[in-house]
Amino acid sequence: MTKEFTLDPVINTDVNKEFKQDEYVPLKKEVYVKAADAMSDKGYEEAYLGDTIRAKMKRDKKRFWAGDNISDYVREEDIPKLIDEATEAFETVLDRLLIDRENDPNSHGTARRLAKMYFNEIMSGRYDPAPDATAFPNDSADRYEGMLVVRSELRSMCSHHHQPVSGVAYIGIIAAQKLIGLSKYTRIAQWCARRGTLQEELANDIAKEIMKATDAKDVGVYVQAVHGCCENRGIMAHSSLTQTTVLKGAFKDDMGTKKEFFDNIKLQQDFAPR
C-alpha cells in the first residue's frame, strides 16, 4: 500500500512565484492562513513559529541551508518555542522508529534532549549571531607585520547524515590594519562549525568570516578532521582523515608565505599532535 506523498507547502513553494492576496497556504494541519499573513512580519499565532520564520525567509529569498546562519530571522526569545516544536517532531520520529518512548526510561525525554541539543549545541552556529570580535588598531610604526597561525579545535556535523565531524583548523593570517583577540579566531571558527556542514564549505566559511572580522586579505585556513560518516557507517573506516585548504591573497600567490604557513602547521602538529 502506498501513501500519497504530500510536498511541504512552505518549503516547496516556487520562490519565483508571486503570492496573490486571496491565495491560501496550509501552515499546520487544518489551520490555513492567508498567504499575505504568512508572508508578513506579524506572523500568525496559531501556526508553528518555525513555519512563520521559514515563510519570511522564503519571502526574502534568504537561503537557509544547514550550513547557513539565520540569526537575522530567529530572536533569542524564539528559541524555547522552536525547541518545543522540534520536540513534538522528534517524538514523531521516535514513534516511527518504533521506540517505546513511554516505557523505556532511557528514551523518555529523548525527543526534548535532541531538540535542545540541536538548537543550543550542535547547530547553535545557525541561530547565534556572529561572536563579538572587537578589533584593535594595528597601525602604529612598530605594528606587527608577521604571520599569525592559530590552532582551533572544531566540532561539527555533516549535513548529509548529521554525524559528528571533529578536528582542527589552522588559521593563518598576515595582520592588516586591525587585530582581534587570539581567542576570537577560535570563537569564529567554532561558530562556523556548529552547523550542518561539508568540510570544504567549512574551511571557506572560516576564511570568509576571519577576513570580515579583521579586514585582512591574506588568510589561509587548513582543516583536518575525521568524519563520523565514514567511521560509524558507510565504509566504517576508522582512520579516515580529510584535509581541506583555503588560501587567499599572499597565502595563495606567494610561495614563501604559503610555505611559511605549512611549516608553521607542521611545527604546531609536532607540538600538539593529533
Residues that bind Zn ion (CB under 5 A): 158, 160-161, 229
CB of 66 or CB of 135, closer to Zn ion: 66
Contact between 153 and 186 under an 8 Å Cβ cutoff? The reply is yes
How many Cα atoms occupy the beta-carbon half-sphere of 264 within 13 Å?
21
Smallest gap from residue 202 Cβ to Zn ion (A): 13
Residues in contact with 178: Cβ distance below 8 Å, sequence separation at least 6, in sequence order:
135, 136, 137, 138, 139, 214, 215
Smallest gap from residue 94 Cβ to Zn ion (A): 21
CB of 108 or CB of 160, closer to Zn ion: 160
Smallest gap from residue 62 Cβ to Zn ion (A): 25
Smallest gap from residue 7 Cβ to Zn ion (A): 24
The distance between the two most distant Cα atoms of the chain, rounded to a whole number of Å, is 77
Smallest gap from residue 234 Cβ to Zn ion (A): 8
Residues in contact with 8: Cβ distance below 8 Å, sequence separation at least 6, in sequence order:
none
CB of 125 or CB of 172, closer to Zn ion: 125
CB of 28 or CB of 160, closer to Zn ion: 160
Q: State residue 33 phi and psi, 5-degree precision.
A: -125, 155
The CA dihedral of 214, 62, 124, 273, to the nearest 10 degrees, is -50
Dihedral over Cα of 51, 52, 53, 57: its sign: positive
How many Cα atoms occupy the beta-carbon half-sphere of 121 within 13 Å?
7
β partners of residue 33: 25
Cα distances from 235 to residues 54, 149, 239, 240, in angstroms, run 35, 34, 11, 10
CB of 171 or CB of 192, closer to Zn ion: 192
Smallest gap from residue 156 Cβ to Zn ion (A): 11
CB of 39 or CB of 117, closer to Zn ion: 117
